[in-house]
């Protein structure tokens, strides 16, 4: 598959790296800055062109005539839309545009097909949806959904005195009576797909796969609350705050937004008449206390400055026991940031890249079973992949224990005729099943890629 990426910012760079992990894809990047293009080309061994992506000659040089997909992720919504229009006419490829402005959001979805756009991704809207999902299930640090919501992978931290502490993974089903499967564990800088003899420890970050009903049952069994928050304080009144507040209020959650810009406060008052809008400096710790931080059930730091968000979340953590969400724009120091215990950390750029990679990999042609959904888990060290199994798949009607499955690959869950279950060695996969695969590898595009070459 031939893919052109227009725009070599953080999202473009992440896309180039993730998509290039598949040897069957040819990647070309375009950016105005020659030095940035050279850096990405050198790091990923791909093609690169310095020039304007709205220039037809540049697109032709990049091979738009033979491209299968063009992804426009420059810093300008207008440039992204125009690039997609030109690419569609010049090469008849599928196009993806990153579009941020709320005023474009609704109209573009309405006219998406007329404009020839296969996908429109709004980073702020996508990030807000992730945050809203977490606030409805605050015990989880991360929630990813599959099979149209019938399957979830949830991540949480094992607290002190938790029943899971020093328990082997194999004992969870027998001792707790819960139909969940532990599919990943993060311990300090290491990530594991644990076997049955793996022993869980305090402060481990555990990811498990289950149905929503079984997820709630599991949390109840281990003594972790699952109720949605009733209220939240948001510092920063940008687009993400608007989308998040609108989403939360639709489910009855009370929202208070603290924004320093008076004009923006007026806009938010018109857009969100049921929210409490405070025109003040949200980094003022005394103000936060006066606005009820200590009694709030959740706190979300959404300023445009990462350092402010980090300090705000650390302060909130010292004053309240509720759920904390921290937005981080830059991803260069993610390893350091992840060790600060900031609650749930949301990287809009990572979410954007994940959505796009998911779409691209689902479009790869194959006679077998293609990826339906993909999520990055275990702090970026693993992938969770959803496959819809076809009758041509080489893995059907064979006991799982007989399949030559690659190392660090786990068949985590099967969804069949409305039932979600954790598979065992004697189970078989049938046509039309939905199967969730967890892997520390990258580049899997078809379900048969989980099998060792030469042993299929």
* Average of per-residue pLDDT across 195-209: 95
Phi-psi bin for 78: left (phi > 0), alpha (psi -120 to 50), beta?
A: alpha
Least confident of 256-270, 272-286, 369-383: 369-383
Architecture label for domain 231-321: 3-Layer(aba) Sandwich (3.40)
| Percent residues over pLDDT 70 in the chain | 95
Average per-residue pLDDT for the chain: 91
pLDDT for res 95? 94
Cα distances from 23 to residues 72, 239, 333, 444, in angstroms, run: 22, 37, 28, 10
Cα dihedral 385, 439, 216, 320 sign: negative
Residue 327 has pLDDT above 70, yes or no: yes
For the ranges 29-38, 76-85, 370-379, the lowest mean pLDDT is seen at: 370-379
Q: Do 360-450 and 128-221 have the same topology in CATH?
A: yes
Give buried/exposed letters for 169-205 (b at 16+ CB in 10 A, else e): beebeeebebbbbbbbbbeeeebbbbeeebebeeebb
Between 24 and 206, residue with greater pLDDT: 206
pLDDT at residue 365 in the model: 46
Give the confidence band of 367 by pLDDT, cuts at 50, 70, 90.
Answer: very low
* CA-derived radius of gyration, the chain: 23
pLDDT average, residue stretch 237-249: 95
pLDDT given for residue 102 in this prediction: 79
- Determine the pLDDT at residue 108: 72
Q: Which fold, 128-221?
A: Alpha-Beta Plaits (3.30.70)
State residue 456's pLDDT score. Answer: 61
Please give the CATH superfamily to which domain 360-450 belongs. Regulator of K+ conductance, C-terminal domain (3.30.70.1450)
Pick the range with the lowest mean pLDDT from 50-54, 75-79, 113-117.
113-117
Indicate the range of 103-117, 171-185, 212-226 predicted with least confidence. Answer: 103-117
The answer, yes or no, to whether residue 364 has pLDDT greater than 70, is no
56 touches 83 (CB < 8 A): no
Is pLDDT of 32 > 90? Answer: yes
Please enumerate in sequence order all residues whose Cβ is within 8 A of that of 354, keeping only pairs 6 or more positions apart, or say none: 374, 375, 376
What does the DSSP 8-state code read for residue 294? G
Return phi, psi of residue 103, to 5°: -65, -25
218 pLDDT above the threshold of 90 = yes
Would you list the DSSP string of 372-396? EEEEEETTTTEEEEEEEPPTT-TTB
Name the least confident of 188-197, 285-294, 371-380.
371-380
What are 176-192's pLDDT values in tens digits? 999 899 999 999 889 99
pLDDT score recorded for residue 331: 63
Examine the pLDDT at 379 and tell me if it is beyond 90.
no
pLDDT of 70 strictly over 90: yes
Closest residue by Cα to residue 368 from 422, 441, 431: 431
SS3 182: strand
Q: What is the mean pLDDT of residues 143-160?
A: 92
Question: How confident is the model over 438-445, as a mean pLDDT?
Answer: 84
Determine the average pLDDT of the residues in 202-219: 93
DSSP secondary structure code for residue 228 in this structure: P
What is the predicted pLDDT for the residue at 332? 64
* Gap between the Cα atoms of 137 and 215, Å rounded: 10
Check residue 427 and give its pLDDT: 95
Q: Which CATH code fits 2-121?
A: 3.40.50.720
For the whole model, what pTM was predicted? 0.84
Tell which residue, 212, 161, 204, 167, has the closest CA to residue 186.
204
Average pLDDT over residues 282-292: 96
CA angle 136, 123, 127 (to 5 degrees): 15
- CA 99, CA 217: separation in Å to the nearest integer? 39
Structural domain boundaries in the chain: 2-121, 128-221, 231-321, 360-450
N- to C-terminal Cα separation, the chain: 25
């Amino acid at each position: 598959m031939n893919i052109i990426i227009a725009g070599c910012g953080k999202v473009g760079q992440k896309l180039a790296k993730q998509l290039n992990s598949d040897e069957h894809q040819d990647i070309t990047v375009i950016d105005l800055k020659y030095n940035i293009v050279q850096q990405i080309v050198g790091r990923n061994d791909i093609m690169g062109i310095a020039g304007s992506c709205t220039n037809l000659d540049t697109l032709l040089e990049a091979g738009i005539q033979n491209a299968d997909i063009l992804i426009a992720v420059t810093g300008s919504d207008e440039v992204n839309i125009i690039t997609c229009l030109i690419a569609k006419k010049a090469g008849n490829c599928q196009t993806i545009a990153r579009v941020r402005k709320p005023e474009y959001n609704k109209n573009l979805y309405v006219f998406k097909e007329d404009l020839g756009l296969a996908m429109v991704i709004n980073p702020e809207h996508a990030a807000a949806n992730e945050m809203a999902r977490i606030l409805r299930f605050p015990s989880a640090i991360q929630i990813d959904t599959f099979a149209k919501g019938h399957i979830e992978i949830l991540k949480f931290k094992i607290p002190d005195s938790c029943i899971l502490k020093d328990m082997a993974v194999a004992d969870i089903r027998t001792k707790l009576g819960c139909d969940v499967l532990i599919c990943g564990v993060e311990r300090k800088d290491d990530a594991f797909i644990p076997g049955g003899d793996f022993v869980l420890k305090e402060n481990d970050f555990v990811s498990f796969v289950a149905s929503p009903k079984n997820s709630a049952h599991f949390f109840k069994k281990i003594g972790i609350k699952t109720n949605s928050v009733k209220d939240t304080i948001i510092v920063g009144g940008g687009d993400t705050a608007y989308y998040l507040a609108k989403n939360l209020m639709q489910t009855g959650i009370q929202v208070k937004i603290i924004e320093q810009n008076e004009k923006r406060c007026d806009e938010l008052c018109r857009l969100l008449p049921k929210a409490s809008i405070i025109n003040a400096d949200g980094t003022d710790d005394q103000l936060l206390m006066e606005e009820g931080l200590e009694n709030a059930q959740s706190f979300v730091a959404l300023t445009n400055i990462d350092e402010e968000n980090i300090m705000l979340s650390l302060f909130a953590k010292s004053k309240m026991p509720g759920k904390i969400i921290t937005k981080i724009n830059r991803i260069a120091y993610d390893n350091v940031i992840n060790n600060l215990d900031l609650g749930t950390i949301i990287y809009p750029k990572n979410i954007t890249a994940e959505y796009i990679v998911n779409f691209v990999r689902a479009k790869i042609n194959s006679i077998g079973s293609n990826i339906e959904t993909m999520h990055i888990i275990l702090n970026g060290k693993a992938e969770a992949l959803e496959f819809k199994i076809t009758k041509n798949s080489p893995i059907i009607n064979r006991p799982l224990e007989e399949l030559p499955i690659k190392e660090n690959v786990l068949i985590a869950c099967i969804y069949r005729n409305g039932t979600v279950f954790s598979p065992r060695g004697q189970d078989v996969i049938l046509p039309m099943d939905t199967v969730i695969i967890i892997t520390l590898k990258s580049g899997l595009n078809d379900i048969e890629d989980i099998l060792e070459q030469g042993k299929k």
